[in-house]
Structure 1
Amino acid sequence: MARLPVGLFRVGLGPVFGRRLLLLHHQGRSTGLDRTVALEVVAYDREGGSWTLASGFGPKAAWYQNLRRTPKTTVQVGNRHYAVTAHFLREGEGAEVMVRYAAGHPGTARRLCSFMGFEADGSVESYRRAGHDIPFVRLDAEPGQPLP
């Protein structure tokens, strides 16, 4: 079930996810093979040309470690592909991203925190604390690409 969105992207149904999910292409750090994973976008900045992701499995997630090794890659949003460079947010930046995300998606934010073992009572401060420990990655599009 977890791989279903990848299949939908591959058969041209990426637009069904809007800007909520993207398909991240990354290179295996050990094998060098191309890998893909569908991830939820926690923040999208059209003007700045970036998508921000949270690693729900922490810094040990394969895609996160692969981006650490090879930060230049591509993403698919809808049916369009974008060249991007990964930038890893500092704890304070991640905390503020989490607070903004929780304001827009309170249920999903609560579930993410619970899944990762953080106590989230719905307060801004609880989301800020969780955001300090959740690894966030901002994917910046290469200049000159028209964004959705």
Structure 2
Amino acid sequence: MDLSLSGIGARALRTRWFVRAPIWLYRHGLGWLLGSRILMLEHTGRSSGQPRYVCLEIVERPAPDRIVIVSGFGERAQWYRNLQADPNCFVSTGRMRRAPAVARLLTGPEASAALERYQHAHPRDWEMLRGAIEKAVGHPVQGLPMVELRLEAAGS
């Protein structure tokens, strides 16, 4: 058993109840307890058509109406594939609840630049996250897909 921080993080990323616990907080109006770097994304299942939920780290906020998130599990992540099929979604973060948004998959160069900015802004977090992702997926991180969420103005 790997008791390093990245080993524990990898195990946590593969533990369903652990990764879904923040959803409960958001759905009960307590998402603000997770701080300003975590959001809950509500998206539509590409096969089921049902609402799906995932909590993710905010990589950056390049503008008040823009949020960039990363898919640590690459393009195979269900939420990422669902946004490819239907980019309309809802975002909850802090005290903001269920704001309508439209997702845009970042190009390779855009994602690389955003990841580099994240690495410089949060070097310790990046090392822990990178180690956990690499142990969870079983291979080195060579770039990660990113998504920009554009929040829509109320009533637009």
**Following TM superposition, by how much is the alpha carbon of 1:143 offset from its aligned partner in structure 2, in angstroms?**
3.5
- Which residue matches 1:22? 39
Letter paired with 1:142: E
Query: Is it true that 1:118 corresponds to 2:140 in the alignment?
Result: yes
1:52 aligned residue (47, 68, 78): 68
In the alignment, the residues of structure 2 paired with residue 112 and residue 77 of structure 1 have an alpha-carbon distance, to the nearest angstrom, of 20
In the alignment, the residues of structure 1 paired with residue 30 and residue 154 of structure 2 have an alpha-carbon distance, to the nearest angstrom, of 25
The 5 Å alignment of 1:1-148 reads: 1-47=18-64, 49-80=65-96, 81-114=98-131, 115-116=133-134, 117-118=139-140, 130=142, 133-143=143-153
TM-score (norm 2): 0.78
> For 1:29, what is the secondary structure of its paired residue?
coil
Count of aligned pairs: 132
**Following TM superposition, by how much is the alpha carbon of 1:19 offset from its aligned partner in structure 2, in angstroms?**
1.9
**Following TM superposition, by how much is the alpha carbon of 1:144 offset from its aligned partner in structure 2, in angstroms?**
5.5
Which runs of 5 or more structure 2 residues have no equivalent in the other structure? 1-17
Letter paired with 1:134: L
TM-score (norm 1): 0.82
In the alignment, the residues of structure 1 paired with residue 109 and residue 128 of structure 2 have an alpha-carbon distance, to the nearest angstrom, of 21
> For 2:110, what is the secondary structure of its paired residue?
helix
**Following TM superposition, by how much is the alpha carbon of 1:118 offset from its aligned partner in structure 2, in angstroms?**
2.7
Which runs of 5 or more structure 1 residues have no equivalent in the other structure? 120-129
Cα-to-partner distance string for 1:2-36 (whole Å, 9 max, x where unaligned)? 11111111111111123200000011111111110
> For 2:117, what is the secondary structure of its paired residue?
helix
Q: What percentage of residue pairs aligned between the two structures are identical?
A: 34
In the alignment, the residues of structure 1 paired with residue 75 and residue 45 of structure 2 have an alpha-carbon distance, to the nearest angstrom, of 15
Letter paired with 1:107: R
In the alignment, the residues of structure 1 paired with residue 95 and residue 54 of structure 2 have an alpha-carbon distance, to the nearest angstrom, of 15
RMSD: 1.7
Letter paired with 2:87: P
In the alignment, the residues of structure 2 paired with residue 112 and residue 59 of structure 1 have an alpha-carbon distance, to the nearest angstrom, of 17
Name whichever of 65-74 and 77-86 sits farther off.
77-86
